[in-house]
Amino acid sequence: MRAGNKFWWFASISFGLILAILASLTIIFWRELDPAQKTLLLQVVKEKFGYLFAALFLGLAGIGFLLDGIFHIYILPLVRVKEEAALINSANPGHRIQPEGSADLIELAGEINELADRYDQIRGSVEERIQRAKTEAEEEKNILAAFMAELPEGVVICNSEGQILLYNRQAKTILAGRASSESAAENHQSFIGLGRSIFSLVEKNLIVHALDEIAEKLERKEDNIVSTFVFIGKDERLFRFEAVPVLSADRKLTGFILIIFDITRELEKESRMGLMIDALTRRSRASAASIRSAIEAILEYPQMAPGQRDRFERIIQREAEALGDLLDQSTDELAEHIETRWPLVRTRAYDFLETVRKKADQRLAVRIDIAVADPDIEVRVDNYSLMTAFLFLIQRIGKAEGSFRFTLQAEQIKRLVNLDIRWDGKPIPGDLLRRWEQDILSVESEQFPLSLKTVLLHHEADIWSRSTKQAPGGACLRIMLPAPEISEPEKIRNITILPDSRPEFYDFDLFNQAGQDPELDECLLRELAYTVFDTETTGLNPAEGDEIISIGAVRIVNGRLLRDEYFDQLVNPKRWMSRESIRVHGIQAEMLEDQPTIEQVLPRFHRFAEGTILVAHNAAFDMKMLQLKESATGVQFINPVLDTLLLSAAIHPAHSSHNLEDIADRMGISIVGRHTALGDAIATAEVFLKLVSILAKNGIHTLKHAREASRKTFYARKKY
């Protein structure tokens, strides 16, 4: 409640009590008089009414001045002392109470300030000791941070809900893709940040499949519980992802680490190697044919003339030397290439077929049986791509042959492993199978951006169709893979991070968060993710055509201001700007000529703020500017909104000013870049973090509590 309103309530109640007391005394006095005295008293009142009214008016005025003095000397200063003492105790220990009011209150303010000074001294001493104790741990954290930053691979750590907890610079470059370096007006830009979902950057099916595979390995108590898959980035580069589980002490999955390798150049080298092998084969065959023909001629005509025999011998020598040079060159190129192959993971053939069976049942509603197979048969595969290839083939066979029941079988014959898809029907014709090989893998509405032929090539696999001998009338599609060498070393990555070893510096406590709950009103303020934003405009009348010329925003996750995750964009308003507005924000018209329009910028800002609570100072104005652009941009902001102006008024009703500068001054916050969208957004975010701690001391803990407290303030009635 505002101070003026409090005074009038206080004065009204006080006057009411005084009048009630006077009325009661008058009634009692009147009842004690006899009739003659009453007549005399009425006559005196009639004759002297003017004097009596003046005396009553002066008496009430005196009482009013007395009440005003009591309120402003004793009551209002006491309320301010309480608010400012709470401010010292929560958000700004360096704040001091300005003494005002009665002598006792001035003395009380002095005592509180003295206590605050002593508290500052004690706190400084404690912080100094804590800082000394943390120095060694901080150095280790900095080493870890530097190590993470300089890793050549991208690293992203997520909790079990897929929320990003940590990422390094390489991961940001890889996952943001080419959009991070293109014009800010591009609408396809991706955002990576703490608290965001990894599923917005990497196809969800790939990660879910990897986690399912990890869960199965954990259930089987295998040692190597890593899962790998291949993903094509926004800039058409190919990446290999290793998903490594983060486990609790009882081996429960609490999160996962994605380690990202760029294998684009490796695959380019492999493609060149394929061309080299083709060329080697053709040239070798040509040289061998020339040598063979020359030798056959010499053997067939042993009595040929010496000159002719010499020509054949020179042909043999020339072709043999050429073949030797070709082999030497090819050997060097092969040695360089041999370590750049698409890495494949060694797994049991039965486990792979079981995965295919489960996925076919879930995604294609196809019944699949697995024939008895040797459990010791192993294959080296990229699990996701080859599994998708099997589902692709099963789907195509089902459509071509009308079959919805299949049998999968694995058998090893010497150095080959045959993976068979069997069904009752006709074999697939060879020309149709060749056409399938050229098609991009797609299963229902999902698509894997590689062709069947590419996947088979990277597995060194071959495919062919035939009828089965075991069951007359049956057909079989066979994929032949090279069997892993017995002595082949197996790379095992087995990382387990226990909860007591995770560094708080990296915000690992988010592992235990439940994620975004639809019932946001019941969520604690400190657990929510926020986008704190501000706009600069051509003027202050959004309903009369003023336009947005700049949007700035920064994110708060888990009570931390993430300064590196910001949105800062100038906007071409396509209209003139007043000199008054230019004097406020300093943005000249020529600075906006080559900038994107609001129709291009607002969809990007909408994605930046997705899944968060919007926070602004005087939010009604900024929200109005956004709402007026809904029809032009097709973007509607339905995020819950909090206003730092209203929250400040809710917890400091005795203060008359709640502009951003005054609130920041009370909180001990220095504003840098005032009246720039990003500068004001950062200042508002710092103020909001301070307000959250004060709100908690006032019993305002949840989003619902904050909105209800805001709604009760005077400023909530202000409209634009």
Average pLDDT over residues 74-95: 75
> Are 554 and 659 in the same domain?
yes
pLDDT confidence band for 393 (50 / 70 / 90): very high
What distance in Å separates the CA atoms of residue 615 and residue 529, rounded to the nearest whole number? 10
Answer yes or no: is 270 within a domain: yes
User: Residue 229 to residues 37, 261, 342, 400: CA-CA distances in angstroms?
Assistant: 108, 11, 11, 29
**pLDDT the model gives residue 180:** 42
Lowest mean pLDDT among 539-553, 554-568, 596-610, 705-719: 705-719
Map tokens 């291949």 to a residue.
230
> Are 529 and 637 in the same domain?
yes
What distance in Å separates the CA atoms of residue 409 and residue 247, rounded to the nearest whole number? 34
Lowest mean pLDDT among 41-50, 178-187, 391-400, 505-514: 505-514
Mean pLDDT, the chain, as a whole number? 78
**pLDDT the model gives residue 6:** 59
Lowest mean pLDDT among 243-247, 406-410, 472-476: 472-476
pLDDT at 621 over 70: yes
Q: Is 2 exposed, middle or buried (0-12, 13-18, 19+ CB in 10 A)?
A: middle
Of 429, 462, 482, which marks where a domain is finished?
482
Of 213, 234, 263, which marks where a domain is finished?
263
Average pLDDT over residues 220-236: 76
* Most confidently modeled range among 273-282, 607-616, 705-714: 607-616
| Better-predicted residue by pLDDT, 68 or 661 | 661
pLDDT confidence band for 675 (50 / 70 / 90): low
With pLDDT > 70 as the criterion, what percentage of the chain qualifies? 80
pLDDT confidence band for 674 (50 / 70 / 90): low
> Are 182 and 116 in the same domain?
no
User: What's the CATH code of the domain at 397?
Assistant: 3.30.565.10
> Are 530 and 439 in the same domain?
no
Answer yes or no: is 491 within a domain: no
Answer yes or no: is 687 within a domain: yes
User: What's the CATH code of the domain at 172?
Assistant: 3.30.450.20
156, 198 in Cβ contact below 8 A? Answer: yes
What distance in Å separates the CA atoms of residue 188 and residue 178, rounded to the nearest whole number? 10
Write out the two tokens for 467.
């009828």
**pLDDT the model gives residue 141:** 65
> Are 224 and 286 in the same domain?
no
Answer yes or no: is 502 within a domain: no
For residue 168, the tally of other CB atoms under 10 A from its CB is 20
User: Residue 111 to residues 85, 105, 154: CA-CA distances in angstroms?
Assistant: 11, 10, 56
pLDDT at 492 over 50: no
**pLDDT the model gives residue 338:** 41
What distance in Å separates the CA atoms of residue 254 and residue 161, rounded to the nearest whole number? 9
239, 220 in Cβ contact below 8 A? Answer: no
User: Residue 708 to residues 364, 577, 642, 705: CA-CA distances in angstroms?
Assistant: 49, 38, 11, 5
> Are 179 and 306 in the same domain?
no
Nearest to 419 by CA among 397, 393, 443: 393
Q: Of the residues 72, 606, 675, 701, which is catalytic?
A: 675
Lowest mean pLDDT among 219-223, 321-325, 432-436: 321-325
Tens of pLDDT, residue by residue over 570-605, are 999 988 877 777 777 778 888 888 899 999 999 999
CA 399 to chain CA centroid, Å, is 40
The total number of structural domains that make up the chain: 5
> Are 286 and 357 in the same domain?
no
| Better-predicted residue by pLDDT, 18 or 213 | 213
Answer yes or no: is 500 within a domain: no
Lowest mean pLDDT among 93-102, 350-359, 414-423, 475-484: 93-102
Answer yes or no: is 487 within a domain: no
SS3 302: coil
Answer yes or no: is 513 within a domain: no
Average pLDDT over residues 308-328: 76
**pLDDT the model gives residue 142:** 66
Answer yes or no: is 377 within a domain: yes
> Are 8 and 29 in the same domain?
yes
User: What's the CATH code of the domain at 609?
Assistant: 3.30.420.10
Lowest mean pLDDT among 2-16, 26-40, 63-77: 2-16
pLDDT confidence band for 569 (50 / 70 / 90): very high
pLDDT confidence band for 618 (50 / 70 / 90): confident
> Are 473 and 434 in the same domain?
yes
Tens of pLDDT, residue by residue over 165-207, are 888 888 888 877 544 444 444 444 567 888 888 888 888 888 8
Type of residue numbered 161: E
Range of the domain at 190: 151-263
| Better-predicted residue by pLDDT, 356 or 491 | 356
pLDDT at 555 over 90: yes
Type of residue numbered 286: A
**pLDDT the model gives residue 181:** 40
**pLDDT the model gives residue 673:** 55
pTM equals 0.54
Of 482, 501, 528, which marks where a domain is finished?
482
**pLDDT the model gives residue 503:** 29
SS3 252: coil
Q: State the alpha helices, DSSP H only, in 49-150.
A: 49-70, 76-90, 103-150
577, 589 in Cβ contact below 8 A? Answer: yes
Q: How is the beta sheet containing 154-159 ordered, strand by strand?
A: 164-167, 154-159, 253-262, 238-247, 227-232
Average pLDDT over residues 30-56: 77
**pLDDT the model gives residue 26:** 79
Tens of pLDDT, residue by residue over 245-286, are 988 877 788 889 998 887 776 655 555 555 566 666 667 777
> Are 314 and 354 in the same domain?
no
> Are 321 and 441 in the same domain?
no
**pLDDT the model gives residue 541:** 77
| 675 a catalytic residue | yes
**pLDDT the model gives residue 333:** 56
**pLDDT the model gives residue 22:** 77
> Are 46 and 163 in the same domain?
no
What distance in Å separates the CA atoms of residue 472 and residue 536, rounded to the nearest whole number? 78
Q: Which residues make Cβ contacts (< 8 Å) with residue 594, sequence separation at least 6?
A: 572
